Structure 1
């Protein structure tokens, strides 16, 4: 590992932790140090990039999605295309991406959404293939996903599910090895894991290892898990401002969503779908079971935001 050099006096360090501790000698905050010696500016306003942490500082080109959207709108098409390719390549290298980023990944980082890439390049997944990223889905959602109810089956609700959804379909209680809901139909490989806001935060803070083991058990049965969250993606990216989230929650949305992104890249058999409330979560859960293989063929969050799901 290359040595790190303090820009103030040239002192050498083996780790960032040692360097950051050394900065106390000069009574300079980490934010001041990096903004002074490694200035990075918002491409639209020219203002210094806000310093939340080192990774955030060096991975962002704007201080807000509003600034990014305005800059892209004012920028010539070819320059915008160069930028959009660059940020995927940067993220691929920084986070060792293997698959094309999902809408959830792109929405909770300072990246344009997938539908913008689709408009700009014509085919987002072909672009990802050219960048040596494995396309995660077969197609870009362009038509409404239809629900075709089939009678004569039952939706199994796990016995550990404490607040089951009131699904308008026949149900029964039974222990599941993973997830909370499953349509008991031959060859059905779709499972739904329901998450309330606080449960979502808890699982993807201290329960990541346990959740990953569940995904591994699902993979052994060739099963696919859709995590349906009873809150919008916008709310979950700022849950620390929600009144009904207890003050005891010490983690940041950035930390939780980073864990979610890591899980998405590590496991090919999972998607996250952020619904706008419990009623929507109920509707979507049933629809996932009766809309063919769309649960794994398309980016569900993208389809939902395009009002196709």
Structure 2
């Protein structure tokens, strides 16, 4: 499932992950029937910087919701090296950016995956959702 607010949705292999657009309670991608327990939040580096500065309050609320999910992840379409070296267009200092990202994982329990670019992020997200589906199916909680 793809959130209707996602402006540049990923295209997945429809054999592995269905692509239905629907407003999701949290995240940009999920599995049908598991919208409140599986989510992937996608961020370009510019988007991440924006949500950690101008959109911080809204993003913290999103993280609070995602923290209640069984499977949640933040996928960043950038290299961690860009964060380390400040190779981005923002007043946010690298230490503040990295500290905020560490907070997502350590304070909210949501892993952050730096995938390098959009193509790798698409592949990772597809694999992540497919694996979540396999786990839910094995447990008998999948709607398939």
May I ask how many residue pairs the two structures share in their alignment?
A: 132
Distance in 1 (CA, whole Å) between partners of 2:40 and 2:52 is: 16
Distance in 1 (CA, whole Å) between partners of 2:96 and 2:102 is: 10
Aligned 8 A contact 2:30 2:40 in 1: yes
Aligned 8 A contact 2:25 2:35 in 1: no
- 1:214 — aligned with what? 62
User: Secondary structure at the residue paired with 1:194?
Assistant: strand
User: Secondary structure at the residue paired with 1:212?
Assistant: helix
Distance in 2 (CA, whole Å) between partners of 1:219 and 1:191 is: 10
User: Secondary structure at the residue paired with 2:131?
Assistant: coil
Q: Which runs of 5+ in 1 are unaligned?
A: 1-155, 296-309
The CA deviation at 1:161 is 0.4
Please point out which of 100, 116, 128 is paired with 1:259: 100
The CA deviation at 1:261 is 1.5
Quick check: which has more Rg, 1 or 2?
Answer: 1
The CA deviation at 1:277 is 0.8
Q: CA 1:213/1:158 → structure 2, altered by over 3 Å: closer, same or farther? A: same
Aligned 8 A contact 1:191 1:224 in 2: yes
| TM-score calculated relative to the size of structure 2 | 0.78
- 2:6 — aligned with what? 161
The CA deviation at 1:191 is 0.7
The CA deviation at 1:168 is 1.6
Output aligned runs, 1:102-121, within 5 Å: none
Please point out which of 55, 71, 79 is paired with 1:224: 71
The CA deviation at 1:158 is 0.5
Q: CA RMSD in A?
A: 2.5
- 1:178 — aligned with what? 26
User: Secondary structure at the residue paired with 2:8?
Assistant: coil
The CA deviation at 1:186 is 5.3
The CA deviation at 1:234 is 1.6
